[in-house]
Amino acid sequence: MDVFIVTGASKGIGLELATQLRSKGNKVIGIARTVPADVEDFVCADLAQTGSLTELIVSLIDENRKMATSFTLMNNAGMVDPIGLIGSISAEDMTTAMAVNLTAPMILSNAFIAKLKDFTGTKRIVNISSGAGRNAYEGWGTYCTTKAGLDHFSRVVALEQTNIAYPVDIVSIAPGIIDTGMQETIRASQEEVFPLLKRFIDYKEQGLLSTAEQTAKKLIAFMEHEDFKVVGPIADIRNF
């Protein structure tokens, strides 16, 4: 059985990924701070509390290893806050975002790779990145930096895994602009702290946002049909 571990699985893309993957007969374990109603195989965890993440991923792999033919870790959880020009945001908010967007995926990936070192089945890590990691946007200093870090981390892991007997395939993929709670947070910000506010309001008003359902479907198709080694560690779903 194919086993998927999906972070941020209580809403948005994460919830759609978990729902659609389950509908295909896969074993899906969701991780998030809140547990959706009527959902099985869900772990309540705050990814900002990074000290417990290694133990968490190890236990999930141990519980499912005997029946698994493949493991996929999907580092989907993320937050766009704090929105604001550097010099105006709090160190505490910056630290939380760094933990959720970058430190947690790194720790989970590290434990995933270590625990499955001798697992001979398919092993994949899918990091949900953003165009913000590849372009600079005023007011998103923390968000852009964490996503750029996630991209570069993926490049390093891909390079390292070329010399491993049973390698983990990894990709950091930008999912496009999606109509989720994150977009609502962006539109609720102020132009003085986020100069691109009008552009994001226009995306909504002009119907240019993809739905979480559409995006999850594309991501699943990507995982089913694309060879990560051929694609490389950095991708954009809009190119597939």
Helix (H, G, I), strand (E, B) or coil at 172: strand
Is 63 a member of any domain?
Answer: yes
Q: What is the pLDDT of residue 193?
A: 64
Q: Choose, from 137, 143, 166, 203, the residue flagged as catalytic.
A: 143
- The number of folded domains in the chain is 1
The DSSP call for residue 168 is P
What pLDDT does 198 receive? 72
Q: Is residue 198 part of a domain?
A: no
Residue 205 lies in a domain: no
pLDDT in tens, the chain (240 residues): 999 999 999 999 999 999 999 999 999 999 999 887 777 899 999 999 999 999 999 999 999 999 999 999 999 999 999 999 999 999 999 999 999 999 999 999 999 999 999 999 999 999 999 998 999 999 999 999 999 999 999 999 999 999 999 999 999 999 988 766 667 777 777 776 677 677 767 666 676 678 889 999 999 999 999 999 999 999 999 999
CA nearest neighbour of 3 among 78, 58, 61: 61
Q: Within a domain: residue 193?
A: no
Asked, for residue 202, whether it belongs to a domain, the answer is no
What pLDDT is recorded for position 21? 97
Q: What is the pTM of this model?
A: 0.91
Whether 41 is covered by a domain: the verdict is yes
CB–CB of 100/79 below 8 Å?
A: yes
We report the CATH number of the domain holding residue 116 as 3.40.50.720
Encode burial over 120-158: b for 16+ CB neighbours within 10 A, e otherwise.
Answer: eeebbbbbbbbebbeeebebbbbbbbbbbbbbebbeebb
Residue 195 lies in a domain: no
Domain, as residue range, for 85: 2-178+210-239
Picking from 70, 45, 67, 40, the residue whose alpha carbon sits closest to that of residue 56 is: 45
11 lies in some domain: yes
Is residue 166 annotated as a catalytic residue, yes or no? no
